[in-house]
Amino acid sequence: MIELTNLTFSYLRNGYPALNDISCVIEPGIRLLAGENGAGKTTLLHNIAGLSRPTGGHVTIDGSDPASDKPEDLGRVFLLEENQFFPGKSIREFAAMHSRFYRRFSNELFYENLHAFGLTGDESLSNLSLGNRKKSELAYVLALGVDVLLLDEPTNGLDIEGREALRHIIGGATGDGQTIIISTHAVGELEHLYDGAIFLSKGHLLYAGNLDDVDERLAFTVTKVPEPEAIYSELQVGRVLNICDAAISEGGGTVNWRLLYSGLHSPLRQELLNILNSPSII
């Protein structure tokens, strides 16, 4: 479990915080991390990974500081950044050198992931296209078995087949107690995998919650005209997507994270937050 307590981070002393007083608990599962450009997503991932130290507040993973460099904590977290460089002629060569630091690395799963992406692992990394290099990297990091895996824009550069393969791989590779945080602008890409979401805006936390929390409080419906009781509606071709208060709605479909993200970035933000942050009805 990841706990953020009054987390603040500034790149310059006395500078404007890139993250401002963020507090939430991130439970195991697959989590969406979303926000506009400059919202603080990558900075948050760096703090969780222990690559940056908070200028205020704390980050802990199961009670430990990820930046502590304690031997027992090494190899528990991995961050795959958008334009990360993997040294080695091939991903297979890199894995042979690097995986020894990750005791739960699965060579079998690594090759299964490569096969799902249509790769062998022997391809020259320097000669691969952006998309195939990203597939190689994802095949490897999703076999590490780390407690916390942080993925920054993992679908960038992937073709349609690659994105579909990634959905299946992530869905099958997430073990009990493991947390995968996916930072992305393409909120709808892996929508059905998410167990919860963290939404940021201008360095502040807008909302952090689990799928069950949202499903209990909000109803997501598709109609031909806007529902009169809808808090937020969005017109698409031939249909209207609505977010309603679950307490007064007759029912709705699965949580639409992209629609919720849009609603929380609209003038109706506070009305949605009032319901999301209300006490449980159960």
Strand order in the sheet with 29-34: 77-80, 148-152, 179-183, 29-34, 196-201, 204-210
Question: What is the sign of the dihedral through the CA atoms of 38, 40, 45 and 51?
Answer: positive
pLDDT of 273 strictly over 70: yes
Give the model's confidence band at 265: pLDDT under 50 very low, under 70 low, under 90 confident, else very high. Answer: very high
Residue with tokens 């998410």, as numbered in its chain: 194
Q: What is the chain's mean pLDDT, rounded? A: 90
Q: Work out the average pLDDT over 77-82.
A: 92
C-alpha closest to that of 82 among 198, 235, 185: 185
- Give pLDDT, residue 14: 64
Domain boundary (202, 235, 267) is at 202
Q: Could you tell me if 125 and 255 lie in one domain?
A: no
How far apart, in whole angstroms, are the C-alpha atoms of residue 222 and residue 241?
5
The type of residue at 29 is G
Quote the Cα angle for 198-55-206, to 5°.
20
228 neighbors 245 (Cβ within 8 angstroms): no
**E strands within 216-262?**
218-223, 232-236, 239-245
| 215 belongs to a structural domain | yes
- Rounded distance between C-alpha atoms, residue 24 and residue 5, angstroms: 7
Q: Is residue 253 a part of any domain in this protein?
A: yes
Q: What are the residues whose beta carbons fall under 8 Å from the beta carbon of 235, sequence distance 6 or more?
A: 226
Question: Of 146, 170, 202, which residue is a domain's last?
Answer: 202
166 pLDDT more than 90? yes
Tell me if 57 sits within 8 A of 7, measured CB to CB. yes
If one counts the domains in the chain, the total is: 2
Cβ atoms of 204 and 38 within 8 Å: the answer is no
Read off the pLDDT of residues 170-221 as tens digits, 9 standing for 90 and up.
988 777 789 999 999 888 888 889 999 999 999 999 999 999 999 999 999 9
Domain of 184 in residue numbering reads as 2-202
Domain boundary among 202, 223, 253: 202
Q: In this predicted model, which residue has the larger pLDDT, 264 or 83?
A: 264
